[in-house]
C-alpha cells in the first residue's frame, strides 16, 4: 500500500467536516485495482483509484458513483451499497473518490467459510438463487437508465485484444481474441446493463445465507448480458482457482445456472462458449497485464508476478471455448 493514511484521514476530516467522528481508516483492498477503505466512526466505505498503475483504467470515480446510484435507484435491480459523497478534486486526498454505505456481510471465493460448509444443502441452493437472480435482475433493467455507453461483444473482444497486445501476451491468447473480433458471437437481444465481474466473490452475505449486496462495479457498462453469464461459467471450468462453495451439496450446476438465467431473463444462451472465450481471454489479458506491470517495475504488487503461474489455465480455457 502506497498511501499515507494520516494524510487521508486529515483530508477527509476537512472535506467532510466530521471532526474526530472519523476515528481511523482501515485498508480493505489495496494495490490491485480500485482501492477500498473502511472509515471507522463514520461507518462508510471509501473508494479510490489504485495508488500504483492499475489493471483496469480509466478509473472514473464519477462514472462508478453514477452506476451505483442508478442501480440503487432501480426498484427491481440487485442490492447494492448506497452511495454518498463524490469528490472529483484530486487535491483533497490525492485522488478523486466517493463514499458508500458500509454493508454488513462476508465475501468468499477461495475458501468456503465454516458457516456455509456446516449448513444444510438448502442454504447453497438459496444463495445461488439469490446470486443468479441478482445478475438476471440487472439484465432486465432498461439500458436507457444506465449511465454508460454500449459496447458490443466485438468491441469487448477488441478492447481486451488491445490490452493483451500491450502486455505481450502469448500468441495463443492473441489468436483467440483476433478471431472473436472477426467473428463475434450472436447477440441474445438488445443490450442491457451488465456488471462485468459478477462472480460469487463479489457478493456480500449474511451468515444465514442472505445476499446483502453485489459489489465491485468498476467494469460495469451496457452490453450483451451473455458476457456476464459466460463470466460466471468460468468458475465451473476452473474449479481449483476461485470456486469455493461450488463443491457443496445444493450448489447449482452449470446447467442449472444457465437454465435459471434463461428463465429469469427470457433470453436464450446461444453461442455461450464463444462468449466464455471472450471472458476467459479477458481474464487472461488482465493477468498478462499484471505480470507485465510487475516485470517492468511499474507496479510492486507481488501478486502480479504470481499470476504468471495462473495465466496458462485461462489461455487454455479461452482456446477450448473458442473452438467450441
Among 43, 45, 16, 4, smallest CA distance to 28 is for 45
C-alpha cell read off for 296: 517492468
What are 48's strand-pairing partners? 35
Q: Which of 12, 141, 178 is closest to 4 using CA atoms?
A: 12
pLDDT, tens digit, 9 for 90 and up, residues 175-223: 999 999 999 999 999 999 999 999 999 999 999 999 999 999 999 999 9
> Containing H/E element for 28?
strand 24-29
How far apart, in whole angstroms, are the C-alpha atoms of residue 45 and residue 257? 32
CATH top-level class of 5-101: alpha beta
Q: Residue 31 — pLDDT band, cuts 50, 70, 90?
A: low
Q: Give me the helix-helix angle, 226-237 and 272-295, nearest 10°.
A: 70
Cell of 191: 443490450
pLDDT digits (tens, 9 = 90+) for 265-323: 999 999 999 999 999 999 999 999 999 998 999 888 888 889 999 999 999 999 999 99
Domain ranges of the chain: 5-101, 114-323
pLDDT of residue 50: 86
The count of residues in the chain is 324
DSSP letter for each residue of 56-95: S----HHHHHHHHHHHHH-TTS---PPEEEEE--TTTTSS
**Secondary structure class of 98 (helix, strand, coil):** strand
DSSP 246: T
- Please state, in angstroms and rounded to a whole number, the distance separating the CA atoms of residues 228 and 196: 6
Q: Which CATH architecture is the domain 114-323 placed in?
A: Alpha-Beta Complex (3.90)
Residue 32: its pLDDT value, please?
Answer: 60
- Report the pLDDT value the prediction gives residue 52, as an integer from 0 to 100: 72
pLDDT digits (tens, 9 = 90+) for 102-128: 999 999 999 999 999 999 999 999 999
Judge whether 24 and 44 are in contact, CB under 8 Å: no
Structure-block grid coordinates of residue 178: 483476433
DSSP of 262-273: HHHHT---TTHH
At 64-73, the pLDDT tens digits run 999 999 999 9
Q: pTM of the prediction? A: 0.94
Mean pLDDT of the chain: 94
Greatest C-alpha distance within the chain: 59
Confidence label for 1 from pLDDT (cuts 50, 70 and 90)? low
Residues 128-161: tens digit of each pLDDT: 999 999 999 999 999 998 998 899 999 999 999 9
53 pLDDT more than 80: no
Cα four-point dihedral sign 99, 112, 123, 265: positive
pLDDT at 240: 79
Amino acid at each position: 500500500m502506497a498511501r499515507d493514511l494520516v494524510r487521508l484521514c486529515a483530508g477527509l476530516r476537512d472535506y467532510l467536516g466530521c471532526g474526530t467522528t472519523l476515528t481511523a481508516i482501515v485498508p480493505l483492498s489495496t494495490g490491485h485495482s480500485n482501492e477500498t477503505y473502511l472509515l471507522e466512526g463514520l461507518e462508510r466505505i471509501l473508494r479510490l483509484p489504485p495508488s500504483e498503475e492499475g489493471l483496469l483504467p480509466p478509473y472514473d470515480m464519477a462514472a462508478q458513483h453514477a452506476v451505483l446510484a442508478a442501480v440503487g435507484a432501480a426498484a427491481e435491480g440487485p442490492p447494492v451499497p448506497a452511495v454518498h459523497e463524490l469528490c472529483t478534486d484530486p487535491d483533497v486526498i490525492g485522488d478523486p473518490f466517493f463514499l458508500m454505505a458500509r454493508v454488513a456481510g462476508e465475501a468468499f471465493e477461495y475458501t468456503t467459510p465454516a458457516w456455509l460448509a456446516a449448513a444444510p444443502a438448502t442454504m447453497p441452493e438459496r444463495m445461488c438463487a439469490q446470486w443468479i437472480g441478482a445478475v438476471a435482475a440487472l439484465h432486465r433493467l432498461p439500458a436507457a437508465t444506465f449511465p454508460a455507453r454500449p459496447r458490443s461483444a466485438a468491441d469487448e473482444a477488441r478492447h481486451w485484444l488491445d490490452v493483451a497486445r500491450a502486455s505481450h501476451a502469448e500468441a495463443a491468447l492473441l489468436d483467440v481474441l483476433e478471431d472473436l473480433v472477426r467473428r463475434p458471437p450472436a447477440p441474445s437481444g438488445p443490450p442491457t446493463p451488465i456488471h462485468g465481474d459478477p462472480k460469487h466473490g463479489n457478493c456480500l452475505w449474511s451468515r444465514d445465507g442472505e445476499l446483502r449486496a453485489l459489489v465491485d462495479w468498476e467494469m460495469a457498462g451496457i452490453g450483451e448480458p451473455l458476457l456476464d453469464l459466460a463470466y460466471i461459467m468460468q468458475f465451473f471450468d476452473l474449479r481449483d482457482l476461485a470456486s469455493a462453495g461450488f463443491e457443496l451439496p445444493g450448489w447449482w450446476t452449470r446447467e442449472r445456472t444457465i437454465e435459471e438465467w434463461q428463465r429469469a431473463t427470457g433470453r436464450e444462451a446461444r453461442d455461450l462458449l464463444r462468449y466464455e472465450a471472450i471472458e476467459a481471454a479477458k481474464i487472461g489479458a488482465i493477468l498478462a497485464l499484471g505480470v507485465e506491470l510487475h516485470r517492468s517495475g511499474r507496479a510492486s504488487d507481488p501478486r502480479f508476478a504470481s499470476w504468471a503461474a495462473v495465466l496458462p489455465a485461462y489461455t487454455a480455457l479461452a482456446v477450448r471455448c473458442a473452438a467450441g
